[in-house]
Amino acid sequence: MLSARVARPASDYPYFQAQTPIGLAHRGGAGYEPNVGRENTAAAFEEAVAMGYRYLETDVHATSDGRLVAFHDAVLDRVTDGVGSLAELPWSRVSRARTPAGDAVPLMDELLERFPTTRFNIDVKAPGAVAPLAEVVRRHGAIDRVCVGSFSDERLRAARRLLGPRLATSAGPAGVAGMRLLPGVLSRLLHSPAQALQIPVQHLLGRRPITLVTPALLRAAHATGKHVHVWTIDDADEMHRLLDLGVDGIVSDRIEVLRDVLAERGTPLTDD
């Protein structure tokens, strides 16, 4: 018998109730030609949605005055003409930053309003973003169309406390490399409150690459009702290999490649 800590299966959550495998547009599809230099912007997400994507992956930070923005880096410098730390700047300053194509940094409020039927996989990048995320999700009644992940187990626990058991989440990083090395760690991950494992194909342990996505892992995850999503995959042959293994989702920057692979396999992005 499974322990009481085992989460309800992914199939119980509206977020996961779609045809699998699913395609997730990473930062809106950062490697797709029209989106280059426009990652995590409303324009990038618009391109993905127009292509048929129903799942968008994004990252969130909070500004110094608590506004939740869709942005990957902790600072504005790499992808905009702004400078400085998001956590130390008010929204009035962040809102003036522009990408080379002229895009503003979007608020998560804006994205949930602009794409009212789209599902968002949200990576919480900073501790200060957890409470604003909970407020935004509640304000938009969006709990059934978000899945929250993080490289911080503490942030994940906080998000679950604030939003309750209806919130879909992916597992945190604790013991990820151990999934292949330590059966006890694998057991804890599979018995975690999360509905999904979102992992790379390999993880470097020191200088040694450890393969995480294996038939054994997929069998164990599926036996506990969890999805396995793999990031960030841009090569068509690798997409086919992973789909042949039975992964439930692929996260990609090259959204046009993933679209074509899924269509070729008879599992298109949309079933209409």
Catalytic residue among 26, 61, 227, 229: 26
Task: Please tell me which residue in 72, 191, 203, 222 is annotated as part of the active site.
Answer: 72
Check if the beta carbon of residue 251 is closer than 8 Å to that of residue 230: yes
* Residue 99 CA: distances (Å) to CA of 74, 75, 76, 102, 221: 15, 13, 10, 5, 40
Residue 87 · residue 96 · CB < 8 Å: no
In the block, which residue shows the tokens 């039927």?
A: 117
Task: Give yes or no: 72 in active site.
Answer: yes
Backbone angles phi, psi at 51, to 5 degrees: -75, -15
Task: Please give the Cα distance from 32 to 38 (Å, whole number).
Answer: 10
Q: How far is CA 175 from the centre of its chain?
A: 19
Nearest partner of 267 among 20, 17, 15, 24, judged by Cα: 20
Contacts of 124 (CB under 8 A, 6+ apart): 59, 60, 130, 133, 148, 149, 150, 152, 155, 156, 159
222 belongs to the catalytic site: no
Buried b / exposed e along 100-122 (16+ C-beta atoms within 10 A): eeebbbbbbbebbeebeebbbbb
- Kindly tell me the burial class for residue 127, based on how many C-beta atoms sit within 10 Å of its own C-beta (0-12, 13-18, 19 or more): middle
Q: Give the start-end residues of each E strand in 1-118.
A: 22-26, 55-62, 68-70
Give the residue numbers annotated as catalytic, written as ranges. 26, 72
